[in-house]
Amino acid sequence: MLMLLNLLEITKLSQNELPLPYHTKLDSLSSRPRWRARDDNQASTMRIMVAIKRVVDYAVKIRVKPDKTGVETNNVKMSMNPFCEIALEEALRIKESGLASEVVAVSMGPSQCVDTLRTGLAMGADRGIHVEATSVLYSLTVAKILKSLVEVEKPGLLFLGKQAIDDDCNQTGQMVAGLLSWPQATFASKVVLDKEKQVATVDREVDGGLETLSLDLPAVITTDLRLNQPRYATLPNIMKAKSKVIKKYTPQELNVDIKSDLEVIQVTEPPKRKAGVIVSSVDELIDKLKNEAHVI
């Protein structure tokens, strides 16, 4: 199968790059309490698992390897996938509001994933799990690994980013929900948890606006950009994170065969865009669209 990755289309997701009104909206949203205050008589025992992926940093200009087998990752800044940061932030807020007892961050891939996990632990995750694999892990394999880990860890909620900005697959959350037969809400922009009823109410961003779903727990939620604004890790928390536990597994130990039916044949850059022109009037624009671009 020929898989062409449209590299220049990779979404740039820094919230700092959003236009100003968005900042205002995000700031006001993030200061709004959405969880009930901690009630020590009802200390929660729910565990939340969050899948965090190590990807090429969103600000890096992607380069294709000369042999077209993939994109260059040597000497390239790698970071936590921005949607995964949002997923982790939401899990931490739920825990801080007293509705969960533990947040476990999980990452799958090469040994350097431990750095991504340490970032997650510095943000506030309690424990990390690294499933070490040196070959490329496709979404279905990741979903199978997550399913096995869910069977070990028994979380009440599994958070994922809605998509990873390297492969833009947007399918791991849906796949793991299918494998687990758990309810799922993708593209979450608001999550409200009712611990007594064991229900999560999720607003999700769809083409026509917002859709609200009610999910019985345990459930899978994938996070969209406007859900929250992730925190920065503070220096003391970075120091504390060094002593937090990261458990290692191999896919084999979790009974997952990482052989995939997918093969990337070639990775190429999209064709270069031609320079634009400035038109002097609407009439000229319409004329060009009609007679040069032939789109109207």
Q: Does 141 bind ligand AMP (CB under 6 A)?
A: no
Structural contact between residues 114 and 54, judged by C-beta atoms closer than 8 angstroms = no
Of 83 and 249, CB closest to ligand AMP = 83
Name beta bridge partners: 130: 107, 248
Tokens of 200: 């999560």
What is residue 74's DSSP assignment? T
How many Cα atoms within 13 Å fall on the side-chain side of residue 247?
Answer: 12
Is the omega angle on the peptide bond into residue 230 within 30 degrees of 0, that is, cis?
no
Q: Which of 44, 73, 79, 81 binds ligand AMP (CB under 6 A)?
A: 81
Q: What is the largest CA-CA distance in the chain?
A: 72
Tokens of 214: 């009610």
43 exposure class (CB count in 10 Å sphere: 0-12, 13-18, 19+)? exposed
Q: Which of 85, 89, 153, 167 binds ligand AMP (CB under 6 A)?
A: 167
Of 159 and 233, CB closest to ligand AMP = 159
**Minimum separation from the CB atom of position 214 to ligand AMP (A):** 23
Closest to 50 (Cα-Cα) out of 128, 158, 129 = 158
The piece of 1-9, 56-64, 76-84, 117-125 that touches ligand AMP (CB under 6 A) is 76-84
Q: Does 193 bind ligand AMP (CB under 6 A)?
A: no
How many C-beta atoms lie closer than 10 Å to residue 156's C-beta? Answer: 21
Give the total residue count for the chain: 296
The piece of 83-91, 186-194, 212-220, 226-234 that touches ligand AMP (CB under 6 A) is 83-91
Q: Does 55 bind ligand AMP (CB under 6 A)?
A: no
Q: Does 92 bind ligand AMP (CB under 6 A)?
A: no
Q: Which of 44, 139, 184, 186 binds ligand AMP (CB under 6 A)?
A: 139
Which residue intervals of 39-154 are DSSP H helices?
Answer: 82-96, 113-123, 139-153
**Minimum separation from the CB atom of position 107 to ligand AMP (A):** 5
User: Which 3 state secondary structure label does DSSP give 157?
Assistant: strand
The piece of 8-16, 59-67, 77-85, 120-128 that touches ligand AMP (CB under 6 A) is 77-85
Q: Which of 10, 80, 92, 108 binds ligand AMP (CB under 6 A)?
A: 108
| Residues in contact with ligand AMP, shown as a per-residue x/- string from 5 to 24 under the rule CB under 6 A | --------------------
**Minimum separation from the CB atom of position 242 to ligand AMP (A):** 21
Q: Does 142 bind ligand AMP (CB under 6 A)?
A: yes
- DSSP notation for 269-296: PPPPPPPP---SSHHHHHHHHHHTS---
Footprint of ligand AMP (CB under 6 A)? 51-53, 81, 83-84, 87, 107-109, 137, 139, 142, 160-161, 163-164, 167, 169-173
